Structure 1
Amino acid sequence: MKKTAFLILILTACEFRIDDSEAKESLESIEIQFGDLTVDMRNIHYAYLDQGHDTMLVFIHGSPGSWSAFIDFFKADSLLNRFDMISIDRPGFGKSDFGIAEPSMEVQAYQINEVLKLFPKKQMVLIGHSLGGPVAARMTMDFPEEYLGMILVAPSIDPEMEEDEWYRKVIDTKLGAFFTPKEFEVSNDEILPLQKELEEMMPMWTHIKIPTIVIQGTEDSLVPKENAAFAKQMLPDSLLDVYLLEGVNHFIPWTHPEEIIKAIHIIVDGRSYYP
């Protein structure tokens, strides 16, 4: 991830978590529910909407973040009419043992997959933003028969694009952690080993057998657009569509949600992203 000054300025202005009761109130008549599952002594919190549809959308947030990063998608009529939805607090964020990081992509993928087993009759489409992207990818690598399709939004998937940023080692000290907001400390703990995690995933890209769409902004200063090119190297054209948003930054779920919604319908309907 790049442009550290920009990262700090932007993210410190963001509200990473909202209370579940506040979220429920903001959704008004939408009957969102909340759940917790203990997986290997770790609590995983999630918000979901089960209306009896056959297909469930699975939203996986970035770093830092929480399930509520995708709350506006729960309000979208074009999704409500066709899909059930679930958004996960990844380990260490939100109400999923907040403050205790889980740096392993394999473990995160397993824990989220265990939550999804609570909905055994659903077809699942994964939507991962930023660091949620490699988590989603690892889920499809480890459980290739479980998912209908995958959408990676500004995903951190190319190990060569992970820079050795000086300030992360500072945060990783006792003094640095003392002055760092907990969300950033957890984020730091999972980003420091990310390059190695991504390198370990390299030979596993051949395990992915489902339609995949990558949506990437050309002006993303946090996750370089070269990550989209990496996806082209790792997945065959028959499975992958890449859509570059000209002049768009990293925060696509908030600035261009319609592009993600479009991709969801394309994945489910079995069409190419563009003719």
Structure 2
Amino acid sequence: MRKRLSKIIRYASISLLVLLVALYVVFVRFSAPPSDKALMELFQTSPTPLTIAKWHFKDFSFRVLKTALNPAKPTLVFVHGTIGSCANFEAYMNDSTLTEHFNMLSYDRIGYNYNDPHPVQESIAFERDMLHSILDQLPNDNTILVGYSYGGPIALATRKKLKKVVLLAPAVYSAVEPMPWMVNLYRWPMTRWMIPKVWQEASKEKLSHRSDLQNFEKTWASTPNQVISMHGNSDWIVPLENSTYLQKQLPSSRFQLIPLHDAGHDLVWSRFEPIKQQLLKLKD
């Protein structure tokens, strides 16, 4: 009986180990930014052709995914969060109705590009200036910024006058910035090796985000733009209090909060339809 029990435990342990390794491999592959080839495969049936370009800012190069920029259409510029890439907005850039009415542009922030040798810059000011280098090539009065999660404060930090700024679950308020336990796996040198490179970069950005936000969060009211924030009331990663904080700072004439019932931090994907409908209201 003891032999049989020992054999069962051994086989169960091996099976559990194999499962954990398999889950880890899937986790790494899912979270890694896609290669250029894989990225274009995501858009092979897109109603509007998209191209990949390398743009430059200071000593950095970064990947830009965009449709042809028709001057008769407004341009949606998407800013991804932590962790993320330009592929995060696949559903929007593949949607026939949105591509009919908008130009589309999405880019990889430094540290999140495929095979990017550079670390994240851990600076909203750097990210804002890099975003400005993109906006300098677009007609600002016909450009709509869409910032998701950490991309929210980057979009909000711009002082360029734009057609509109749309925030999706923006992480803009340091007092309610949670620190997930998983970040400790990066903090601890003994376990850091277990973390995929792109998640190491995300952990660094997460750890510095709270203090960096304090340089900006009292200035949000000075934005020259009209701002819409869509936020899930079940978001525990970036709580709704971030958007209600903005609501207290900005006058109702320049700020609209759209709470999404039972939505979490994955609203970019899980609440595609209401976000799409809101974007379509901005086409004229």
Fold shared per TM-score above 0.5:
yes
SS of aligned partner of 1:168: helix
| Contact 1:99–1:183 (8 Å) recurs in 2 | no
Task: For residue 217 of structure 2, give the secondary structure of its aligned residue in structure 1.
Answer: helix
Q: TM-score, normalised by structure 1?
A: 0.85
Matching residue of 1:91 = 110
Select between 119-128 and 56-65 the one with higher mean Cα deviation.
119-128
- Residue in structure 2 matched with residue 171 of structure 1 by the alignment: 186
RMSD value, Cα? 2.4
- How far 1:205 moved relative to its partner? 1.3
- Closer, same or farther in 2 for the Cα pair 1:98/1:65, shift >3 Å? farther
Which residue is 2:225 aligned to? Answer: 210
For 2:205, which of 190, 215, 223 is the aligned residue? 190
SS for the counterpart of 1:249 is coil
The TM-score, its normalising length taken from structure 2, stands at: 0.82
Per-residue CA deviation, residues 107-138 of structure 1 (Å, 9 max, x unaligned), is 01111221232335772101111111111111
Whether the 8 Å CA contact 2:152–2:170 is kept in 1: the answer is: yes
Displacement of 1:54? 3.2
Paired with 1:64 and 1:49, the residues of 2 have a C-alpha distance of 24
Matched residues, number: 257
Structure-1 separation of matches of 2:203 and 2:84: 13
Alignment check: 8 A CA contact 2:140 2:163 kept: no
- Say if 1:177 and 1:56 are closer, same or farther in 2 by CA, change over 3 A: same
Is 1:19 the counterpart of 2:35 in the alignment?
yes
Q: Alignment partner for residue 132 of structure 1, among 151, 159, 162?
A: 151
Whether the 8 Å CA contact 2:67–2:103 is kept in 1: the answer is yes
1:238-253 alignment to 2 at 5 Å? 238-253=253-268
Residue deviations 1:145-201 (CA, integer Å, cap 9, x gap): 2x2111111111111011355653551354443221111111111111111121110
- Assess, with a 3 A threshold, how the Cα gap between structure 1 residues 95 and 211 changes in structure 2: closer, same or farther: same
CA spacing shift, 1:215–1:88, aligned 2, 3 Å: same
Structure 1 residue 96 displacement after superposition: 8.0
Aligned to 1:272: none
Tell me, in whole angstroms, the C-alpha distance in 1 between the residues paired with 2:133 and 2:177: 29
What does residue 42 of structure 1 align with? Answer: 60
Alignment partner of 2:64: what SS?
Answer: strand
Taking the aligned partners of 1:219 and 1:257, their CA distance within structure 2 comes to 16
In the alignment, what sits opposite 1:273?
none
**Cα distance in 2, alignment partners of residues 174 and 35 from structure 1:** 37
**Could you tell me how far apart the structure 2 residues matched to 1:211 and 1:150 are?**
6
Q: Distance in 2 between matches of 1:112 and 1:44?
A: 11
Residue 206 of structure 1 contacts residue 235 of structure 1 at CA under 8 Å; is this kept in 2? Answer: yes
- Aligned-partner residue type, residue 66 of structure 2: Y
The structure with the larger Rg is: 2
* Conserved 8 A contact 1:49-1:85: yes
In 2, Cα distance between the equivalents of 1:180 and 1:105? Answer: 24
Equivalent positions of 1:37-76 (< 5 A) are 37-52=55-70, 53-76=72-95
Partner of 1:220: 235
The CA distance in 1 between the partners of 2:42 and 2:170, in whole Å, is 28
Using the TM superposition, give the Cα deviation of residue 73 of structure 1 relative to its aligned residue in structure 2, in angstroms: 0.8
Deviations 1:187-239 (A, max 9, x none): 11111111112111023213212221111111112111111211101211001
Aligned twin of 1:5: none
Structure 2 unmatched ranges of 5 or more:
1-22
2: CA distance, partners of 1:54 / 1:20 = 26
Q: For residue 196 of structure 2, what is the aligned residue in structure 1?
A: 181
Q: What is the aligned-residue identity percentage?
A: 21
Unaligned runs of at least 5 residues, structure 1 = 1-7, 270-275
Structure-2 change in CA distance of 1:72 and 1:16 (3 Å): farther
Separation in 1 of the partners of 2:142 and 2:75? 6
State how far apart, in whole Å, the 2-side matches of 1:193 and 1:121 are: 30
